[in-house]
Chains A and B, each alone.
Chain A
Amino acid sequence: KAGVTQTPRYLIKTRGQQVTLSCSPISGHRSVSWYQQTPGQGLQFLFEYFSETQRNKGNFPGRFSGRQFSNSRSEMNVSTLELGDSALYLCASSLEGVENQPQHFGDGTRLSIL
């Protein structure tokens, strides 16, 4: 069974631009979560979607948004990019809710802001 697929793998943007990252969960998984990983802050939770609804959101500004489609695929959007947004963005999926299911992670999208 295919794992969690994130596209693109690498992305270079400049300050002020916006970016959209994509995540395809494991087939049958309905929960998709997004995380930001940086050397200084570690892994930080962005948001979780379940059946097209955002169920929880981490402590990130409104420039970070997401959505989930009916096929469970998810996108994350960051507007007005800042240098500090440079990070590895990880997507994870689980069969049901995050609270009682281990998550399966993708390889991530490495975003660099110039």
Chain B
Amino acid sequence: AQSVSQHNHHVILSEAASLELGCNYSYGGTVNLFWYVQYPGQHLQLLLKYFSGDPLVKGIKGFEAEFIKSKFSFNLRKPSVQWSDTAEYFCAVIPIAGNMLTFGGGTRLMVKP
């Protein structure tokens, strides 16, 4: 079975700082990868996804993620965070031949104005 690790549980940044959230997974085969975000009081929303092709994927609100297959990583980045990016971020993977989406433990991001 696959597993997902998000090593940063809590991140505090000032506005305009750059962001990188780590995500590593373990699985022997090909996977599809996702980043979801949960803003305070709101439901989980898809930020971006990687299925195939260019390993650098761009999502909503200026977020991007890079899939590095050799490192089993799918780190989330944003060049300049805003206060409104305060939220919890979840990385998730699913084998292309499977139907069980596995989430990482989440990273709580707080952006100070």
- A105 partner residues in chain B, CB cutoff 8 A: 36, 43-45
Judge whether B49 and A102 touch: CB under 8 Å: yes
Chain A 46-89 residues near chain B, CB threshold 8 A: 48, 50, 55-56, 58
Q: For the complex, what is the distance from the CA of A40 to the CA of B97, rounded to whole Å?
A: 29
Which residue of chain B is the closest to A106 with respect to CB atoms? B43
- A31 partner residues in chain B, CB cutoff 8 A: 99
A72 to chain B, nearest CB (A): 16
Judge whether B99 and A97 touch: CB under 8 Å: yes
Is B94 positioned at the interface, with any CB of A under 8 Å from its CB? yes
Judge whether B98 and A99 touch: CB under 8 Å: yes
Binding site for A on B (CB under 8 A): 32, 34, 36, 42-46, 49, 51, 90, 94-106
- A58 partner residues in chain B, CB cutoff 8 A: 100
Known: A43-B90, A107-B43. A56 touches B105 (CB 8 A): no
Other-chain residue from B32, B94, B101, B103 in contact with A42 (beta carbon distance below 8 A): B103
B53 to chain A, nearest CB (A): 14
- Could you tell me the dominant secondary structure of chain B's interface residues? loop
Which residue of chain B is the closest to A104 with respect to CB atoms? B46
Judge whether B104 and A98 touch: CB under 8 Å: no
- B99 partner residues in chain A, CB cutoff 8 A: 31, 48, 50, 55-56, 97-99
- B44 partner residues in chain A, CB cutoff 8 A: 90, 92, 105
Interface readout for A28-39 with B: 1 if CB under 8 Å, 0 if not?
A: 000101010000
Q: For the complex, what is the distance from the CA of A18 to the CA of B101, rounded to whole Å?
A: 26
Known: A42-B105, A42-B106, A43-B90. A98 touches B100 (CB 8 A): yes
- A43 partner residues in chain B, CB cutoff 8 A: 90, 103, 106
Judge whether B98 and A102 touch: CB under 8 Å: no
- B36 partner residues in chain A, CB cutoff 8 A: 105
What would 21 A/B residue contacts be, using CB atoms closer than 8 Å?
A: A3-B43, A31-B99, A33-B101, A35-B103, A42-B105, A42-B106, A43-B103, A45-B103, A48-B100, A58-B100, A90-B44, A97-B99, A98-B94, A98-B100, A99-B96, A99-B99, A100-B32, A102-B46, A102-B49, A103-B101, A107-B42
